[in-house]
A and B are shown apart, each in its own frame.
Chain A
Amino acid sequence: MSTSASSTTKPGGLSARYRWTVASRVAAAALGGYALSSAATVLMALLWPAPKAQAVLWATMLSFVIYTVVVIWAFTTRSATRAWAGMLIGTAVLAALAWLLKNGGAQ
């Protein structure tokens, strides 16, 4: 941040539309990101090559890394719509895989 950051943080007028896209993106990152991280944690817990309880612990310890990466992606992707799409599709795919592994598999 060696160059002045003041001009980069906000585009000229703060229109209502801009505010809504920011709010939408914040929601996508916070709520959608949490859902995505939860689904990823479940999937990781099912796949991690360790005894069941340890796999759950590993996956949960790493879940905060996933959440961090996902939130930063949500804020750096091109639009709020893309952020929402990423969260919803990602969560759906991961949750479906986890469901298949848990209920469709040997158990």
Chain B
Amino acid sequence: MKESLRQCASWLHTWTGLTVGWVLFFVFVTGTAGYFQFEITRWMQPERALVQPRALSDKGEAAMDHAFDRLEQVAPEAANWRITLPHESLALRGWQDLAIRWEEMPLPGHERGAIGTEQLDPVTGAALPPGPEPRATAGGRGLYRMHYELRYMPYEWAIRIVGVCTMLMLLAIVSGVITHKKIFKDFFTFRPGKGQRSWLDAHNAISVMALPFFLMITYSGLVFFLFQYMPAGRDVVYGSDQVSRRAYFDDLRERQPRTPHPVGRPLAPTAPMMARAQAEWGPDQVRTITIERHEGEPPAVAIARVYGGSVDFWNPPVLRFHADTGEPLPPKAEPGGSAVKTQSVMLNLHEGLFVGIWGRWLYFAAGLLGCAMIGTGLVLWTVKRRKHHLGSGREGAEAFGVRLVETLNVATIAGLPLAVAAYFWANRLLPIELADRGAWEFHSLFAAWLGTLFYALARPLHRAWIELLWASCAAYALVPVVNALTTDKHLANTLPAGDWVLAGFDLSMWGLAALLALMAVKVQRRLAPADRPRPLATLALEEGAA
């Protein structure tokens, strides 16, 4: 390997990308869907009512009174109380109603007590019975969690497999950039209809377009499980056993053992505290009111703002008051310094919870570009190899490897979307009473995916591409139809009601169907102009020469 840096980087890029491309494609597809996990879950629980956006009335004070009454009744000896005021939550992507939560005093030998929660009616203060039990489903959360814990294997293995793939992706990105010396010139180069060149140009353009996103998502993905992947620092400085790990986190979070005292209704009126919060943050910005008391500290009322408005997502501003006198208390210092801050910013950028709905769409689009980058990269490898083999006059010894990669490419790039659609179909079609229903939704996904693999093995390659892409397209186009046939939460109802989460899901299915149709038409035009069973390679060669 006495080659230049650029050539070595090119080799590294090719092989790191190829070895993990399929796993990464799976991770990107499920992770991209995960950006809408709450919306997907809502769609997968059609028993839940249509949600009408509600504004917090000026009855906030009354609601709080009701909540305190109820807390005094159900949790007179609690370590802390928390009231959630009605608000639109970014963290859970939806409207949160008035709710109370309390923690019982910890039992001897325990650090924390049992947690209780209740939903309250904001007008009467009565505890609301839980709504109709929605069908069992793995939901959007199931898709989202699969992007790092995979399926059918222990969690510890899965995160390590994904970790290795992520590390190789980071290497592929960095070596790709080194390979690519004229990064911006090439970005504006696109030569359509030129076989390998076009694939290369497309791969370049897509990769450069969202390069900051890819770097961010890859690196922050590693940071999520950093001590699983790189335990050396912590293990040497603190130790590798359970106790030392705990000591490390306590140290990092500057956690001191504190003894809680039972709390009660604040003696000071809460109205001025709420007025102060409103003056600081504007109307309807209070998320929770927490009452807590620790030994040696005054009883405190902590008023927390709704999440959002900052990439430091999970640390919204908090106002603290003395529960007996109403005096403002100094804010709590955030533990961990710049290290913890940096880490949480990275993780928040990865999860993208801090952005509103349009930011979510931007994340979703970037995720799709990631799928496209990996997909074009995988296809480019085969197009290039085909040409290489033909050029060297070795097409007879036609590599098993190339055929294998081509088959896996079809089954992954055209087949996985079909499998995800099968997940949604299964949600509507599996019997409601089926035991372990969520697991069967996953089984449906993987059965469909395996089916596409057999299909890709059985059909001539170019037919497999075209037919599976059209099949995926049909599978998505029909999701809203299946929905309309099996539930009442379909477009004819959700659109007039203005329920954009449910309507948006159905419309997005058609959007994805359109995207897959576009791909199918493109591939069809490229691969089967005369619909003769010619090998893909001949075409690639002709296109390359054209």
Using a CB–CB cutoff of 8 Å, the interface residues on chain A facing chain B are 1-2, 5-6, 8-9, 21-22, 25, 37-39, 41-42, 44-46, 50-61, 63-64, 67-68, 71-72, 75-76, 78-79, 98, 102
Chain A contact residues: helix, strand, loop or mixed: helix
Given known pairs A37-B230, A53-B248, A53-B251, the reply for A64 and B222 (CB within 8 Å) is: yes
Whether A41 contacts B230 in the complex (CB less than 8 A), given A8-B7, A25-B1, A57-B343, comes out as yes
Report yes or no: B170 in contact with A64, Cβ–Cβ below 8 A.
yes
Given the complex of chains A and B, what is the CA–CA distance between A67 and B437 in angstroms? 42
For B11, give its contact among A9, A61, A98 (CB under 8 Å).
A9
Contacts of B10-56 to chain A: CB distance below 8 A: 10-12, 14
Contact residues on B (Cβ < 8 Å of other chain), bracket: 35 or more
Tell which of A9, A37, A44, A56 touches B14, judged by Cβ atoms closer than 8 Å: A9
Are A72 and B175 touching (Cβ within 8 A)?
yes
Q: Is B223 an interface residue (CB 8 A)?
A: yes
Mark the stretch among B79-87, B126-134, B231-239, B428-436 that contacts chain A. Answer: B231-239
CA separation between A63 and B252, bound complex, in Å?
Answer: 18
Tell yes or no: B388 within 8 A of A by CB: yes
Q: Is the CB of A52 within 8 A of B251?
A: yes
Cβ contacts B215-238/A at 8 Å (1 or 0 each): 000010011001101101110111
List the B residue with the shortest CB-CB distance to A102: B236
Contacting residues, chain A, for B180 (C-beta < 8 A) = 1
Closest partner residue, chain A, to B200 (CB atom) = A1
A38 to B237 Cα, complex, angstroms: 12
Assess the B2–A68 pair: CB atoms within 8 A: no
* B229 contact set on A, CB distance < 8 A: 64
Are A68's CB and B234's CB within 8 A? no
Known: A1-B204, A98-B236. 5 other contacts (CB 8 A): A2-B182, A6-B391, A8-B7, A42-B237, A52-B237
| Residues of B with C-beta under 8 A to A54 | 252, 336-340
Q: Are A38 and B248 in contact (CB under 8 A)?
A: no
Q: Roughly how many angstroms separate A76 CA and B175 CA in the complex, as a whole number? A: 11
- Given A9-B14, A72-B171, A72-B174, are A50 and B337 also a contact pair (CB < 8 Å)? yes
Asked whether B5 is an interface residue with its Cβ less than 8 Å from the other chain, the reply is: yes
Flag whether B186 is at the interface (Cβ < 8 A): yes
A residues in contact with B233, CB < 8 Å: 41-42, 44-45, 56, 59-60, 63
Q: Which residues B191-216 have CB closer than 8 A to chain A?
A: 200, 204
Q: How far is the CB of A104 from chain B (nearest CB, A)?
A: 14
A39 to chain B: which residues have CB within 8 Å?
232
Contact in complex: B230, A64 (CB < 8 Å): yes
A35 CB, nearest partner CB in chain B, Å: 9
Residues of chain A within 8 A of B238, CB atoms compared: 56
Enumerate 21 A-B pairs (CB-CB under 8 Å) in ascending A order: A1-B10, A1-B186, A1-B200, A2-B189, A5-B179, A22-B1, A41-B233, A42-B236, A44-B233, A45-B233, A45-B237, A53-B251, A54-B340, A55-B237, A55-B339, A61-B339, A61-B342, A64-B167, A64-B170, A64-B222, A64-B223
> Within the complex, what minimum Cβ distance (angstroms) separates A12 from chain B?
10
How far apart sit A5 and B346, CA to CA, in the bound complex (Å)?
35
Q: Using Cβ atoms and an 8 Å threshold, which residues of chain B touch A59?
A: 233
Residues of chain A within 8 A (CB-CB) of B342 are 58, 61
* CB-CB nearest in chain B for A5: B10
- B7: contacting residue among A9, A52, A67, CB under 8 A: A9
Instruction: Give chain B nearest CB distance to A103 CB in angstroms.
Output: 11
Indicate whether B319 reaches chain A with its CB closer than 8 angstroms. no
Give Cα distance in the complex from A76 to B339, angstroms: 32
Q: Is the CB of A8 within 8 A of B3?
A: yes
| Interface pair B336/A45, CB less than 8 Å apart | no
Residue on A nearest B182 in the bound complex, by CB: A2
